[in-house]
Amino acid sequence: MLKRRLLLECLESRQLLAVTTPGTLNRPADPVVMTGADVPAVLGIAPEDLVAFRDTGSGWEQIPIQVDERALATMHQIYGQAINHPNLTILTYADPNTYVGADPDSTLDADDEIAFMAKDTGGRVSLSQPAPADVDLASRVELVISDPVDAGNQGWVYLFQRTSGALSPGAGVSYVDYQFNLLVGNGNYLANYDTASGPNPENSTIETDYYSRRFVERWITDELNIKVGTDVDLLDRHRFQFAPGFGGRSEDTFSAGEGAFIINKSGPVRAIRSWVGANSGPYTQREEIYYEQREDVYTYLRVHAIPAGMDLFDYNAAASGMIYYNELNPAGVLVDGQPDSVTTGAYEWELLVGAQGSLSQSHVLDTNLPGYSQTSYYLDDITPPAGETQVTGDSESWGQSGPWIHNLASTDVGSPYYLTSLRALYYGGPDVTTADAERHNELVHNPLQAAIDGSPQPAAILGRHVFYNESKFDGGTPGVSTSDDLAIATDKSAYLPGSGAATFDNVTSYSRGINGIMIDIAAPAGTLSIDDFAFKMSAQSGANNTPSTWSAAPAPAAFSVRPGAGVSGSDRVEIIWPAGAIENRWLEVLVEGDDALGANNTNTGLAASDIFYFGNRIGETGSGTPGLAITNASDEIAARNNPGFGAAVTNPFDFDRSGIVNALDSIVARNNVGTLTYINLSDPPAAPQGSSGEPTAAVALALAEQQFRDEVVREQASVASTGPDLQSTTRSSRTASAPQLLVTSALVELELVANETPLDELVGDELLASLTS
């Protein structure tokens, strides 16, 4: 357990060092919204397969991400029927639970939206950082999110396509809970909602850790609680009307007339409630998007010319004692139900704050209307005067406030004019100031900018592979070819110093030895050549943990760089040796970097040299001991017992990688009896093994086994020289005793070696266990 813990700590430290730039964004309430067109690499995947991660400085952490599908829809489609108004097509959210229906393109397409939160961004990581589990490494997309308000502040998010259901796009998080609860029939919208006229009563709720809201009709919302304050309901109504005291058009009349929902969706990142229908403006649309700390309310005005429009928040008596501010009234006024003298006019931000919490609001108007004028309205009076009678909700006015726009030309179907307004609400505690409200307003007017990060990254090693050159899998070609990728030993991985003891995962059993490796290098500084690499190899009889004593490996027979062919579009370096040049030993590969070890090589672009190892023990099936790769009779027998055609590149018995397991593979194992020590470069250097000329116990065991094979051959020749009857009797008795004879011979040899050499008891126990199993 101690070794495992140290290994994990080592890996965590390496992940920490992999972060090249920390994230600096400071916009915890703000979303990041992109479209599929902004991220072409994810187009065509299933929306539920898109997952996102950030790096925290100590490794990957999954973050919630949400795909909201959008499609073109006609207004008649939204209503579920043709209505007495010219049709209109809009791009809007798709919802299979409304008449809009599901997106006809079920994949993530160019107009779909991708949303995540700025607070979930992290640092930029090195290209060499391993991918998270259960994702397609090749699908990685690096996004950089920039803050136009605080220049230089950035964060990064990494998108992947998941490969299993072990990952969910929401990452086990739900920032908002929206419950659409229609109080008609069984509550099913398609079966029960009357799009021709109201009432269509609801008890729909939105809840986050910061606030809660309630709707009782399509346009009517009558509850607002700030949960990071005193969590009391502060709202009478979010009101619409043409003028003070005029009730001919209001949120009540809108809800009583024709109308329909476009979407009701609750996701892990945000919830969306969108609807149409406002009396003679059947296509006027309200779209509310709820985030954990923020709410965005969009109004798309589509109506004939109207004299004016008021968009007001009217609070209730629970707001008493709060202070109301806006940019025209920075000193603020007390909300107490008593009239105040305030400056009116166009403003962009307002703030209501007290012990009950804070509601900071920002207004953005996007229009090309000619001749309109804009002012504002404020009324704090529990007994409103004549002409300002409350036409909806209760009869009192508590801090009622909002924009008031006059002289609105037609924005209906066929008009060249449009008007879209955004009211963005930030929910906070009682300590929010006017400076905070001003900053919120600036943030709303300057949304975060997200893009694929194309800025240069330092060079990095993304892949280290061993492949079977001149095998069935590369077509038997001796030189460099793209088909060599098909011969990569996908079940083998490079041994990295500091990762504990090597295992059979780091060792091949190929009959031609190690004759091909590949290195995937991202963003090299220069044109790579063989001079950027160095190679060593261990002795055949054993290997020690001091590679500095190893000899130089033979010069490669071929070297090539295939630009873009490696992992994630990196450059794939391919190096080939002649068959048999490096067999039954370890190969050390040094990719030189800008350090002493790499002789300050700046051509690769690596800040530090990269070292890795592959081993080879011909004919080994992985049946050795924890310290040794051993080729012996058990490997020959295993190959003999598993014959067949169509062997995969990972087949452990196809030693010659011909794609067929047959007698030739048994012969390979028979002719390559021996051992290879598993290196462990995380331990102090060990004394060289097998260098003194005296065999170790393992080598002696392998030699004894070969001596026994020779004896069996001689005995079989002796039997062949006798008569037929005697042959049968002799062969039967000697064949039956062969396994016992092999063990006896090996044990005798082991005993002799143990008497002559300082045999480690643990090694002896391992060998005895393998003999008697």
At 295 the pLDDT is: 99
The pLDDT tens digits for 655-665 are: 999 999 999 99
- Count of domains for the chain: 3
At 764 the pLDDT is: 47
262/300 same-domain check: yes
Average pLDDT, the chain: 89
At 541 the pLDDT is: 64
Residue 617's domain comprises: 460-628+647-660+677-688
Whether residue 148 has pLDDT greater than 70: yes
What is the pairing mode between strands 177-179 and 154-161? unpaired
More reliable by pLDDT, 727 or 97: 97
440/472 same-domain check: no
DSSP element (H, E) containing 199 = none
Tell me whether the omega of the peptide bond preceding residue 199 falls within 30 degrees of 0, making it cis.
yes
Distance CA 609, CA 460 (A): 10
Task: Match 């994702």 to its residue by tokens.
Answer: 135
In a domain, 422, yes or no: yes
513/565 same-domain check: yes
Model confidence at 32, in pLDDT bands (50, 70, 90)?
Answer: very high
In a domain, 635, yes or no: no
Whether residue 107 has pLDDT greater than 60: yes
In a domain, 115, yes or no: yes
Spell out the residues 6+ positions from residue 282 whose beta carbon is closer than 8 angstroms to its own: 75, 79, 83, 85, 257, 258, 259, 276
Other C-beta atoms within 10 Å of 615: how many?
29
CATH of the domain at 235: 2.70.98
β-partners of residue 53 are: 62, 158
- Closest among 98, 421, 119 to 261, alpha carbons compared: 98
165/183 same-domain check: no
Distance CA 695, CA 703 (A): 9
Last residue of a domain, one of 173, 191, 223: 173
474/617 same-domain check: yes
Distance CA 549, CA 546 (A): 6
The pLDDT tens digits for 610-640 are: 999 999 999 999 988 999 999 999 999 999 9
297/349 same-domain check: yes
Q: What is the mean pLDDT of residues 544-567?
A: 94
In a domain, 369, yes or no: yes
At 129 the pLDDT is: 82
Model confidence at 458, in pLDDT bands (50, 70, 90)?
Answer: confident
First to last CA, the chain: 27
The pLDDT tens digits for 402-440 are: 999 999 999 999 999 999 999 999 999 999 999 999 999
Whether residue 732 has pLDDT greater than 80: no
Read off the tokens for 163. Answer: 């490969």
In a domain, 637, yes or no: no
Model confidence at 126, in pLDDT bands (50, 70, 90)?
Answer: confident
- The answer to whether the beta carbons of residues 746 and 771 sit under 8 Å apart is yes
At 688 the pLDDT is: 37
In a domain, 11, yes or no: yes
CA distances from 58 to 123, 507, 539, 607 (A): 10, 30, 39, 20
159/183 same-domain check: no
Last residue of a domain, one of 119, 153, 173: 173
At 567 the pLDDT is: 87
394/505 same-domain check: no
Residues of the chain with pLDDT > 70, as a percent, come to: 85
Whether residue 27 has pLDDT greater than 50: yes
Print burial letters for 537-573: b (CB count within 10 Å at least 16), e (below 16). Answer: bbbbbbbbbebeebeebeebbebbbbeebbbbebbbb
Whether residue 60 has pLDDT greater than 60: yes
More reliable by pLDDT, 705 or 87: 87
At 570 the pLDDT is: 92
Model confidence at 34, in pLDDT bands (50, 70, 90)?
Answer: very high
In a domain, 771, yes or no: no
The helix/strand/coil state of 379 is strand
Q: What is the mean pLDDT of residues 96-123?
A: 98
Model confidence at 262, in pLDDT bands (50, 70, 90)?
Answer: very high
Whether residue 384 has pLDDT greater than 80: yes
117/169 same-domain check: yes
18/147 same-domain check: yes
Whether residue 734 has pLDDT greater than 50: no
- The answer to whether the beta carbons of residues 37 and 138 sit under 8 Å apart is no
At 122 the pLDDT is: 97
**Residue 235 CA to its chain's centroid (Å):** 40
The pLDDT tens digits for 663-722 are: 999 999 999 999 999 999 974 334 333 333 334 444 445 544 454 455 444 445 544 554
Model confidence at 19, in pLDDT bands (50, 70, 90)?
Answer: low
Q: What is the mean pLDDT of residues 146-152?
A: 96
Model confidence at 38, in pLDDT bands (50, 70, 90)?
Answer: very high
CA distances from 147 to 28, 120, 319, 447 (A): 12, 14, 34, 8
At 542 the pLDDT is: 64
In a domain, 280, yes or no: yes
Other C-beta atoms within 10 Å of 641: how many?
10
The pLDDT tens digits for 191-238 are: 999 999 999 999 999 999 999 999 999 999 999 999 999 999 999 999
Last residue of a domain, one of 420, 450, 480: 450
364/322 same-domain check: yes
Model confidence at 746, in pLDDT bands (50, 70, 90)?
Answer: very low
114/34 same-domain check: yes
At 695 the pLDDT is: 41
